[in-house]
A and B are shown apart, each in its own frame.
Chain A
Amino acid sequence: KAGVTQTPRYLIKTRGQQVTLSCSPISGHRSVSWYQQTPGQGLQFLFEYFSETQRNKGNFPGRFSGRQFSNSRSEMNVSTLELGDSALYLCASSFSPLNEKLFFGSGTQLSVL
């Protein structure tokens, strides 16, 4: 069974640009969550999608958005990038939205210059 796949693995952008990150969950998993990980703040919850609907949202500005497709694949978008957006962005999938076992991808390392 393939794990959670995130693309791209690395990304370098400049301030003001936008970026789209992709996440393919484990087959059969319908819930996808996104987290931002930085050395100073640790893992912070961005949002969660289930059946193409955003179910929960963390405390991030509106520049951070996401969506989920009918095949459960998810994308997150960050517009007007800021230096502080440099982080590892992790996607996690689970069978359902309940707080059960999360399977994380390897993440996308975003650097904003």
Chain B
Amino acid sequence: TQLLEQSPQFLSIQEGENLTVYCNSSSVFSSLQWYRQEPGEGPVLLVTVVTGGEVKKLKRLTFQFGDARKDSSLHITAAQPGDTGLYLCAGGSQGGSEKLVFGKGTKLTVNP
């Protein structure tokens, strides 16, 4: 069974601070997705990374896929209250024969 461990589980910071959250597994994934979920809503896809070592930037968010495609990180620069939410990583298997495996998420609170 493929498992994704996310850390930290909870993170509370002040506006303007930087942060990094992690997504780790002992399994290799063909792709890694990051979602953000706000209270009362479903997850919204932020990015998909598919190549080992790949780095993608989305404004103040930087996503990295590990060289071995077993781990990923999300770095947020100068966090804002609007970044508050549950950040979920999800690993995909090659060929799409199995559905995405989700981590339990990092609950981020950015205080003004």
Known contacts A42-B102, A99-B30, A99-B31; A105/B93 CB under 8 A = no
The interface-forming segment of A62-70, A75-83, A90-98 is A90-98
Which residue from chain A places its CB closest to the CB of B41 in the assembled complex?
A106
Q: Are A4 and B99 in contact (CB under 8 A)?
A: no
Known: A99-B96, A99-B100. A43 touches B31 (CB 8 A): no
Contact at B100–A102, with CB atoms within 8 Å? yes
* B99:A48 contact, CB within 8 angstroms: yes
Q: Name the residue among B30, B93, B104 with the largest chain A CB count within 10 angstroms.
A: B104
SS class of chain B's interface: helix, strand, loop or mixed? loop
A-B contact count (CB 8 A): 53
CB distance from A109 to the nearest CB of B (A): 8
A17 within 8 A of B: no
| B98: A residues at CB distance < 8 A | 56
Q: Give the A interface residue count (CB, 8 A).
A: 25
Given contacts A42-B105, A99-B30, A99-B31, contact A90 B42 (CB under 8 A): yes
Residues 56 to 112 of chain B near chain A (Cβ within 8 Å): 88, 90, 92-93, 96-105
**Can you list, as one digit per residue, whether each of A14-41 has a CB less than 8 Å from chain B (1) or not (0)?**
0000000000000000000101000001
List chain A residues, Cβ under 8 A from B92: 99
A51–chain B nearest beta-carbon distance, Å: 15
Which B residues touch A1, using CB under 8 A? none
**Apart from A101-B45, A102-B45: 9 A-B pairs, beta carbons within 8 A:** A41-B104, A42-B102, A45-B101, A45-B102, A56-B99, A90-B42, A90-B43, A98-B96, A104-B43
Interface residues of A (CB under 8 A from B): 4, 33, 35, 41-45, 48, 56, 58, 90, 92, 96-107
